[in-house]
């Protein structure tokens, strides 16, 4: 990424976003038209792969040794490894929830509002695009672009939270998917709740970074906190890439 210029970084970000959007739409129509669970799984894996590589820059873990052990670049390398290990650990929580979902519900799914599901998914996806804009702006020294990007991301993140916790939870309860009802309700609230908790912490993280960015604490060379919040935000998006089909698309409708 270091060798690309700003315009090509924007192009890349837009291209990946279009790929992700098309795949999400495809996912939705596959689920409606043909009930092909393996195809949905493949699409989710491709989407996750795109985000991991192009938005989260997983290849940076393999970067050459950066200067001596006391340098900022070397410490950032250690921080990066630490963050990825944390995400790996966190991924086990979400994997455990997915396993629980299939153990309890098998290939059935709760009755949820499809339009709202697609809308919140789109909101999170668009937020990922702007998060990527914010980070690449900072990497090219564009403070203003960074501030705009991160502000839009925070807004969309709050929008997602309101959509899931404020609207979807009410609608689901009205449809009979209640927390104290059957296991389907239990796992629905647990999965969306755990994910929403991570979105909430991500928003808080972004607010902290935004505030420090406002003070001008980050530079083109030194902006580890920006990178960390970006990677965390995209990770939360990757989780939703799997949770969305698992809750909304896969399996036969019951209840």
Partner 1 sequence: MKNMKPVWRGLLWLLIGGVVGYALGLGLDALVGGNPDFVAPLGGLFALLGAAVSFFSGLVGYRGITRGLVFQVIGTLVGGFLITGIRALMGLPTFGGFFFSEPAWVFGSLVGALSFLAGVGALTDWFKWAKGEETSDHHSDPEGFVKYFGVSLDHKVIGIQYTITSLVVLGVGGLFAMIFRTELASSQLQFLTTTFKAFDQNGLQFYNTLMSLHGMLMIVSILLGIAGMMNYLVPLLIGADDMAFPRLNAFSFWIAVPAAVLLLSALFLGGFDTGWTGYPPLSTRSPVGIQMFFLGVFIAGWSSILGALNLLVTVVRMRAKGMTAFRMPIFVWAAIATSIISLTATQLIGLSFQMVMFQRLFGLGFFDAARGGNPVLFQHLFWFYSHPAVYVFILPGLGIISELLPPFVRKPLFGYKWIAMSSLGIALVGFLVWAHHMFTSGMNEYLRVPFMYSTLLVAVPTGVKFFSWVGTLWKGKITTPTPMLFVLGGIVVFLLGGLTGPPNATVSTDLHLHDTYWVVGHFHDTMFGGYIFPFFAALYYWFPKATGRRMNEKLGKLHFWLMTPSFFVLTLGMMRIGLLGMRRRIADYDPQLGFDGTHLILTIAGYLIFISVLIFLYNLFNSMKNGEKAEGNLWKSRSPEWLVPSPMPAHNYDQPFEVVGEPYDYGLAGSKYVQFAASKEKDESVAGKTKKAKS
Buried b / exposed e over 54-82, threshold 16 CB at 10 Å, is: bbbbbebeeeeeeeeeeeeeeebbeebee
State the DSSP code for 54: I
Q: Whose Cβ is closer to partner 1: residue 163's or residue 185's?
A: 185
Minimum CB–partner distance for residue 7 and partner 1 (Å): 31
Which of the residues 61 through 90 are near partner 1 (CB under 8 A)?
A: 68-69, 74, 77-78, 81-82, 85-86, 88-90
The residue within the footprint of partner 1, chosen from 8, 22, 208, 222 (CB under 8 A), is 208
183 lines the binding site for partner 1 (CB under 8 A) = yes
DSSP notation for 175-209: TT--TTS-HHHHHHHHHHHHHHHHHHHHHHHHHHH
Tell me the β-bridge partners of 234.
Answer: none
103 lines the binding site for partner 1 (CB under 8 A) = yes
22 lines the binding site for partner 1 (CB under 8 A) = no
Minimum CB–partner distance for residue 179 and partner 1 (Å): 5
Number of other CB atoms surrounding residue 117 within 10 Å: 19
181 lines the binding site for partner 1 (CB under 8 A) = yes
100 lines the binding site for partner 1 (CB under 8 A) = yes
The residue within the footprint of partner 1, chosen from 59, 72, 96, 166 (CB under 8 A), is 96
Tokens of 187: 């796992």
- Alpha-carbon span 58 to 53, nearest angstrom: 5
β 108-109/252-253 pair status: parallel
Place of tokens 């209640």: 178
Minimum CB–partner distance for residue 230 and partner 1 (Å): 17
- Alpha-carbon span 90 to 77, nearest angstrom: 20
Q: Whose Cβ is closer to partner 1: residue 69's or residue 252's?
A: 69
93 lines the binding site for partner 1 (CB under 8 A) = yes
Q: Whose Cβ is closer to partner 1: residue 2's or residue 69's?
A: 69
Place of tokens 């200067």: 67
| Region near partner 1 per CB under 8 A, out of 31-39, 50-58, 96-104, 161-169 | 96-104
211 lines the binding site for partner 1 (CB under 8 A) = yes
Minimum CB–partner distance for residue 163 and partner 1 (Å): 21
Q: Whose Cβ is closer to partner 1: residue 90's or residue 142's?
A: 90
Q: Angle of helix 224-244 relative to helix 72-105, nearest 10 degrees?
A: 10
The residue within the footprint of partner 1, chosen from 16, 51, 97, 120 (CB under 8 A), is 97
């Amino acid at each position: 990424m270091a060798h690309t210029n700003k315009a090509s970084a924007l192009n890349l970000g837009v291209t990946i976003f279009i790929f992700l959007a098309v795949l999400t739409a495809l996912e939705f129509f596959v689920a409606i038209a043909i009930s092909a669970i393996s195809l949905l799984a493949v699409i989710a894996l491709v989407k996750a792969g795109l985000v991991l590589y192009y938005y989260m820059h997983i290849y940076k873990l393999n970067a050459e040794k950066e200067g001596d052990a006391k340098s900022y670049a070397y410490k950032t390398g250690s921080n990066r490894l630490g963050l990825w290990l944390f995400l790996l650990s966190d991924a086990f929580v979400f994997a455990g929830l997915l396993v629980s979902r299939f153990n309890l519900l098998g290939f059935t799914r709760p009755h949820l509002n499809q339009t709202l599901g697609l809308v919140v998914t789109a909101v999170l996806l668009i937020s990922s695009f702007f998060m990527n804009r914010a980070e690449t702006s900072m990497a090219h020294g564009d403070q203003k672009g960074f501030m705009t990007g991160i502000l839009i991301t925070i807004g969309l993140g709050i929008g997602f939270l309101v959509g899931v916790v404020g609207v979807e939870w009410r609608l689901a309860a009205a449809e009979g998917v209640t927390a104290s009802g059957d296991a389907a309700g239990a796992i629905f609230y647990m999965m969306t709740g755990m994910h929403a908790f991570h979105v909430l912490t991500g928003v808080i993280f972004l607010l902290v970074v935004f505030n420090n960015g406002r003070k001008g604490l980050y530079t083109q060379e030194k902006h580890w906190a920006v990178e960390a919040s970006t990677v965390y935000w995209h990770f939360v998006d990757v989780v939703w890439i799997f949770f969305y089909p698992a809750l909304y698309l896969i399996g036969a409708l019951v209840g």
